[in-house]
Amino acid sequence: MSDRLSIPEYAMALARVASLRSEDPYRKVGAAALDHDNRVIGTAYNGLAPGFDAPLGFWDNREKRQKFMLHAEINLCSLFRRGEAKLVATTTMPCTACMQTLCAYGIKEIYYQDIYHASDAPEIAATYGITLEQIKA
Ligand SMILES: [Zn+2]
């Protein structure tokens, strides 16, 4: 037995740290991407567009602000080009739109911690032959 983290666990640990930076009071999501040599490309979290300062009361209404939130996976994909990343770990299962984006970027392995029932990610992964597995906290 070894205490050494597996590569997916390593990526998930990075994703968890990234989630701590999210300013969304309702759902903090972090994500991490590794390249084909298991080197870290980067980490990201859900939040508002860079440089935008939320006005007073902005966080009070989840429905109203939801459309402005950039998901962690989208922010993550802004860090690399298609084909550069092999593996993505994210603290919540990608939503349908993020799963489609990860497909477009050629991600082959996706690991998530918390399940997101409203997502079509499992069906999309099965159809395109992408690994989608849960790593529990
Ligand atoms: Zn999403």
pTM, whole model, 2 decimals?
Answer: 0.94
Distance 92 CA to ligand 1 centre (A): 9
Distance 4 CA to ligand 1 centre (A): 30
Distance 73 CA to ligand 1 centre (A): 6
Please tell me the class of the 7-134 domain.
Answer: alpha beta
Own/partner long-range contacts of 20-27 (Cβ < 8 Å, ≥24 apart) = 20/45, 21/45, 21/47, 22/46, 22/47, 22/72, 23/47, 23/48, 23/54, 23/59, 24/59, 24/69, 25/59, 26/62, 27/92
Instruction: From first to last of the 137 residues of the chain, give the pLDDT tens digit.
Output: 578 999 999 999 999 999 999 999 889 999 999 999 999 999 999 999 999 988 888 888 888 888 999 999 999 999 999 999 999 999 999 999 999 999 999 999 999 999 999 999 999 999 999 999 999 98
